[in-house]
Amino acid sequence: MEKVHCLKRFVFLVMALGLVTTFTSCDDDDEPKPNVPALTDVVGNYAGKMQTTSVSPLAEEGEEPQGTDVSAEVTNENVSFEKFPVADLITAIMGEAAPGIIEAVGDVSYKVKYTPTFNDDKTVISMAFTPEPLILEINFPTEPTEGEGEGEGETPDLKVEVTIAAPEAGSFAYAGDKLAFKLQVTGVKVNNEPFELPVTTFSFDLAKAK
């Protein structure tokens, strides 16, 4: 009889140890796992400022540039702007006629393709940009003439083709979720004719929305 009691105690002990091990495993599973950096961490919505500078500054000498409010969406492949800030650029090209043209242009969407890579310690994502030209097609409002369908077969009154380059790679820093990059206007054509314009740089300093 004593042997039977010893056997039962042994079985209960084994079962108890098994339950303790099970609960310990569950607790380990519930522990948060450390975040592993991924190139997709740059994806999100951003807001901040854009500064415009050129060889011949657009601002008066001594005037502190305020910057332009800007927002962007970063996907796996592109940095996209629903409202790309073109007012400074149009002002540089068109001078006194700029306000009416800015109004006629309205919102300008633009996106820039990029390729991401990590730095050595994975604290920064480097972004190599491959910008396409920015095309602005502007039709000024006119009174339709008799027998002419409005908008049928029209060519734009003004077509501006802006060649854009990326002078250096952009960067997304995990510290503060900061995105910084530059786009540079290297050439302009107005109605297919080259237009002389100093090299103009757009510097973006954005923060990721929480």
SS3 117: strand
Pairwise pLDDT comparison (160 vs 144), residue with the higher score: 160
Vertex 83, ends 67 and 126: CA angle to 5°?
70
CA distances in angstroms from 163 to 44, 57, 93, 127, 140, listed in the order given = 27, 19, 14, 19, 23
Pairwise pLDDT comparison (58 vs 75), residue with the higher score: 75
Lowest mean pLDDT among 20-34, 45-59, 152-166: 20-34
pTM of this prediction? 0.74
Query: Of all helices (H) and strands (E), which one includes residue 104?
Result: helix 98-105
Give the pLDDT band of residue 62 (cuts 50, 70, 90): low
How does strand 200-208 pair with strand 78-81?
unpaired
pLDDT of residue 133: 96
pLDDT greater than 80 at residue 151: no
Give the pLDDT band of residue 208 (cuts 50, 70, 90): very high
pLDDT greater than 80 at residue 47: yes
Vertex 43, ends 84 and 182: CA angle to 5°?
45
Question: What value does the mean pLDDT of the chain take?
Answer: 81
pLDDT digits (tens, 9 = 90+) for 111-150: 999 999 999 999 999 999 999 999 998 877 666 555 555 5
Distance CA 17, CA 65 (A): 71
pLDDT of residue 59: 46
Lowest mean pLDDT among 25-29, 63-67, 181-185: 25-29
pLDDT digits (tens, 9 = 90+) for 10-45: 445 445 555 444 444 445 555 555 678 999 999 999
Query: In this structure, are residues 84 and 105 in contact, taking their beta carbons and an 8 Å threshold?
Result: no
pLDDT of residue 161: 95
pLDDT of residue 170: 97
Half-sphere exposure of 163 (CA within 13 A, CB side): 12
pLDDT of residue 138: 81
Pairwise pLDDT comparison (162 vs 10), residue with the higher score: 162
